[in-house]
Structure 1
Amino acid sequence: MRRSRRFIPFARSVLGVALLLAAATGQARKGEPPYSLAHPAKAGFDVAIVDVAGVDAPRRRIDADRAMRTAGSKRMRSADARPLSITPERDGRWDTLEDGSRLWRVRVRAAGATDLRFAFAHFALPRGATLHVIGAGDDYQGPYTADDATDGRFHAPIVPGDTATIELHVPAGATLDAGALELDGAGAGFRDLYERTRKDGDPGASGACNVNVACPLGDPYANEIRAVGYYEYIAADDGDYYLCSGTLVTDVPHARRNLFLTAAHCLSLAAEAQSMVVYWNYQSTQCNVLGAPAGGFFDDDQHGAVLRATRADVDVTLVELAGSPAADWNLYYAGWDASGTAPAGTIGIHHPSGDVKKITAGPAPHTIDNCIAETAPATHGTHWYAGPYTQGTTEGGSSGSGLFASVGTGGGLARHLVGTLSGGTAACSDTAPGQPNDGFDCYGKLSVAWNGPSPSSRLRDWLDPGDSGVTKADGIGQNDLSQSGNGHSSHALPPVLLQRQRANVAGAAR
């Protein structure tokens, strides 16, 4: 399995070996390579190309950033949607291989795109069949099977370059029913999320004032950092692809349901949740912003989710991710506080501009009405006002990320999530690029989103399913043996995780 060039710290306690061996729908798969890469001489080379509208990536990025600033939102458009209708019955190339199995391939090109992602309207593969997506440099995603479908659809993670091959391998004796597989959309990316054009030593995509989570500021929040990921999805309002951030959160019984908290202005519809692909563990091993890894963060991802609750005025959405994260991703279910008590200081953890994970520090927040045009009409007291920041900032792609109480906060709030980012004016300073400006952000208050007229518009039914009446829960690690939260168990890693940890340490040293 090809791993990315970064080291993710591991908790010292884990679930039983059974969980290590369990497969889960919705996980990333960078497993066995596609047949055409493993057996190039046998696969054949003449594969048809389907061209879709290209993209002027530099110009498109400028236009998208201008529109984002105008809205005051920090959801970031990452790719333009391109409609398709490709099926194995009428498109591409079929080959019968020596063992009687069959190979189908088609290529899709969007000239000028920095990266591509694909949506399948139908994804009902026969038993044993596997699908891969292959991008530039033979970088691939897969194999995927019928179990990866969510409501019969499938959204593949991105691959680099402007041309990609869709490859389906059907075992001997298996039948692919008519209409079982249909590719109905592609996303022509213009932000170079693989950072293929970035040279070693160059800064990442976000501004110079941002702070890597590997810096001293992040040291007290090692658990919370593991709870944060960012995701790409298809927005219903224009059909294009966007990036936002979010946080994996615990429920009161610590059941490790894969509940993911983000902003309603990012996504608020079932179809948007279904299109999500969440990327985990993309972070630098170094504090220096120039030490950011050059790519490879697409190893740890989940696709598909079910909408659980959304509320526009407070700008909060909760989804439940399909399947469970792999045990060796070692994620964390963050704790939260819905009491409405203001912390003495705040920490934000997010992915500005799709960059490696960053951390932001700010003063005590105060209560305001909502603050960006994309949310519903103002309701009194729905948001936290945060800023100006003392370290770091937020940018496009940070929307939906969590606001945490800092470790200096009293009253048991420390390290608990209290809000989600709607947007604002905070950015790196134009006059002092290494420092944040004097702008602000607003975060939807968890305490306001806690209640609502129905389970689909409030958080308490999902975060406190037993109706215990509590408004706070400590976090818990994905692999903690104990049910207690925020602990630091000293249980040893089993051999499977220890082997991966040693491999990652060696990779980081290189």
Structure 2
Amino acid sequence: MPGIRHALGLGALLGFALAVAAPDAAARQGEPPYSLRQNAKLARVLPLAELAPLDAAMRRLEIDTAAAASLGARTKRTAVADPRTVSLTPQRDGVWDSLADGSQLWRVQVRAAGATDLRLAFDRYALPAGATLYVIGADGYYQGPYAADDGHGRFHAPVVPGDTATVELRVPAAAWPLADDALELSRVGAGFRDAFGREPIDLVKLGSPGRSGACNVNVVCPLGAPYGDEIRAVAYYEYFDDVEQGYYICSGTLLNNAARDRRNLFLTAAHCVSRASQAASMVLYWNYQSTQCVVLAAPGGGYFNDNQSGAALRATRPDVDVTLVELDQPPQSDWHVYYAGWDAGGAAPGGTIGIHHPRGDVKKITAGPAPSVSGNCTVASPTAPNTHWRAGPYSQGTTEGGSSGSALFARAGDVGQKRVIGTLSGGNALCQGTEPNAAQDCYGRVAIAWNGTNAAARLRDWLDPAGSGAIALDGLDSTAPTFVPPRHSERPLPPVLRQRPRR
């Protein structure tokens, strides 16, 4: 249990200043937390839970030095935070305020001194109807409001900047008193990669989100023009590894299925997520991309605005390094996501495209030649010779830590027609200055992961739930009209009419 001491809370004047500065900070685009609103009259002193401090620069150096010294091809997930155990509940911690409408407001602060950003995990999450939860970080940035249906007994909040975070819970009068098991903050991820770019550049240097290699290509560049739909299917996510006790970044892709029912099936790598606990801890970030082709351009719009938490493990194949999860909730309609198509036929296209988030940076796109069949390049002795595609050297862009789990698409106009054929395990591809190096990566093949010993070890049951016999499928827009395909397994499924959402 961390030491608790009192610190100055958010006074009315500070709350007003932060509220003015926070239009882009509303990650869920809901109304601001009560404590950040103008003229909020609340207790000025908040209890502060002091957690173990962190030397972010040293932690980055330790991890990146170890990675650089490792031999052979590497997986491409990125460590971003260390866990801090805590136990804070509304019943025994924090401070309550009674508001004019009869509702009750609970707040508490946590700090891991030196952390660049924080992730809060609630192992108990059973909010009553009408209650709202916020997590507030530095600079008036907040995530929320979150309600009862945002968690499934547990809830993992998206990242907030700074080394101090405030938890704010508002309980309506009709739901008072609050049940004892309504909420418990149980873990804080102390970040060391500076996800929000708040540290001076000379301190951050390489290895932080937003600072991937100079050869990477933003998806808005000409290379991405034919893949506007597929780009919208890709998200990056953070998750907690409860075995290795760390937070990591990987990428993944939302997939269509033969029922075309917009079931929220998300493809990634097994070396990122292979256990139910890891899937449950996933926090996905959609549409995090630049509006400019310039590599170092800042992302447009809000920062990490489109996010969602939680998933259930559906299938995982460690030999192919492929995992399929189902998101706990559908992405919001105004995020305009896309359900990518896939091809399990096994034919090699004439060229490939990768869409991913290297180092958690804004979304990038990578072009490569025709892939060849190989084993898993990230293990010393592959268990099978044909589980992976060997991709590269790339002609444009590359992959880095954080790209793991991202999809390999068939190039537009080739066999496969922009469908997913693999998911990234890793490799030695990197930037060499402003150009990609001459190394290669390997991607677990969808064609091999299609079959397996049971539904928990293959993709077929989930991507073709009615057993139509389809082995390839086009993508589906989140706003497209529902289409019921003919039940003729000997015929390829027809393409889906696409309706582009208004942006």
TM over 0.5: yes
Show the counterpart of 2:9: none
Shift of 1:242: 0.4
The equivalences for 1:65-80 within 5 A come to: 65-69=64-68, 70=70, 72-80=74-82
Alignment partner, residue 471 of structure 1: 471
Q: CA deviation at 1:455?
A: 0.1
Confirm or deny: 8 A CA contact 1:104 1:167 kept in the other structure. yes
Distance 2:303 2:288 in 1: 5
Report which structure shows greater RCO (CA 8 Å, sep ≥6): 1
- 2:3 corresponds to: none
Tell me what 2:407 maps to.
Answer: 402
**How big is the shift at 1:91?**
1.0
- SS of the residue aligned with 2:31? coil
Are residues 1:232 and 2:221 paired? Answer: no
- Going from structure 1 to structure 2, the CA distance change for 1:274 and 1:91 (only over 3 Å counts) comes to same
Could you say what the CA RMSD is over the residues aligned between the two structures, in angstroms? Answer: 2.1
**8 Å Cα contact 1:313/1:376 also seen in 2:** no
Equivalent AA in structure 1 for residue 30 of structure 2: G
Distance 1:442 1:83, change over 3 A: same
User: Structure 1 residues 43 and 212, CA, compared in 2 at 3 Å: closer, same or farther?
Assistant: same
Which residue, 253, 256, 267 being the options, matches 2:262? Answer: 256
- 2:247 maps to 241
Greater CA deviation, 129-138 or 97-106? 97-106
Shift of the 397–435 alpha-carbon distance from structure 1 to 2, 3 Å rule, reads: same
Q: Deviations over 1:282-336 (max 9, x none)?
A: 1111111122327833210110001000010000000000111111111100001
Partners of 1:389 and 1:405 lie apart in 2 by 14
Counterpart Cα distance in 2 of 1:460 and 1:179: 39
Indicate if the aligned counterparts of 2:324 and 2:459 stay in contact, CA closer than 8 A: yes
Q: Could you list the runs of 5+ residues in structure 2 that have no partner in the other structure? A: 1-18, 484-493
Q: Which amino acid aligns with 2:446?
A: L
Instruction: Write the letter of the residue equivalent to 2:130.
Output: G
Q: Which residue of 2 aligns with 1:128?
A: 130
3-state DSSP class of the match of 2:431? coil
How do 1:248-287 and structure 2 match up within 5 A?
A: 248-287=254-293
Answer yes or no: is 1:380 the counterpart of 2:380.
no
Does 1:448 find its partner at 2:448?
A: yes
What residue identity is the alignment partner of 2:350? A
Q: How does 1:75-90 map to 2 (within 5 A)?
A: 75-90=77-92
Partner of 1:56: 55
Whole-angstrom distance in 2 between the partners of 1:238 and 1:294:
34
Shift of 1:470: 1.4
Determine the C-alpha separation between the residues in 2 that align with 1:225 and 1:439.
24
Over residues 109-158 of structure 1, what are the superposed CA-to-partner deviations in whole Å (9 max), with x where a residue is unaligned?
011111111000101112211111100011111111121112x1010011
Provide TM-score, normalisation by structure 2: 0.88
> What SS does the corresponding residue of 1:291 show, helix, strand or coil?
coil
8 Å CA contact 2:135–2:144 kept in 1: the answer is: yes
Cα distance, 1:29 vs. partner? 2.9
Kindly indicate whether the alpha-carbon contact (under 8 Å) linking 1:252 and 1:465 is maintained by their aligned counterparts in 2. yes
Specify the alignment match of 1:19 in structure 2: none
Question: Which residues of structure 1 form unaligned runs of 5+?
Answer: 6-27, 502-510
1:195 Cα deviation from its structure 2 partner? 1.8
1:293 and 1:102 map into 2 onto residues whose CA distance is 37
| AA aligned opposite 1:322 | D
Amino acid at match of 1:450: W
- SS of aligned partner of 2:198: coil
CA deviations over 1:61-102 (Å, ceiling 9, x no partner)? 122223445371101001111100111111111122233221
CA contact (8 A) 1:198 1:294 kept: no
Aligned to 1:22: none
Distance 1:398 1:106 in 2: 35
Shift in CA distance, 226/319, structure 1 to aligned 2, threshold 3 Å: same
Classify the secondary structure of the residue corresponding to 1:47: strand
The 5-angstrom pairing of residues 133-172 of structure 1 reads: 133-150=135-152, 152-172=153-173
Specify the SS of the correspondent of 2:390: strand
CA distance in 2, matches of 1:182, 1:263: 31
Instruction: Note if contact 1:369-1:383 (Cα within 8 Å) is conserved in structure 2.
Output: yes
Query: 2:428 matched to 1:422?
Result: no
Secondary structure of 1:362's aligned partner: strand
Give the drift of 1:259.
0.4
The residue that corresponds to 1:208 in the other structure is 214
CA contact 2:260–2:482 (8 Å) conserved in 1: no
CA distance in 2, matches of 1:382, 1:153: 35
Residues 4, 383 of structure 1: CA spacing in aligned structure 2 closer, same or farther, 3 A cutoff?
A: farther
Which structure: greater strand fraction?
Answer: 2
Letter of the 1:480 counterpart: A
d(CA) in 1 for partners of 2:24 and 2:140?
15
Q: Which amino acid aligns with 1:442?
A: C
Is this contact kept in 2: 1:68–1:74, CA < 8 A? no
Paired residue secondary structure (1:389): coil
2:34, 2:40 within 8 Å by CA — same for their partners in 1?
no
Q: Distance in 2 between matches of 1:198 and 1:488?
A: 44
- Tell me which moved more, 293-302 or 132-141: 293-302
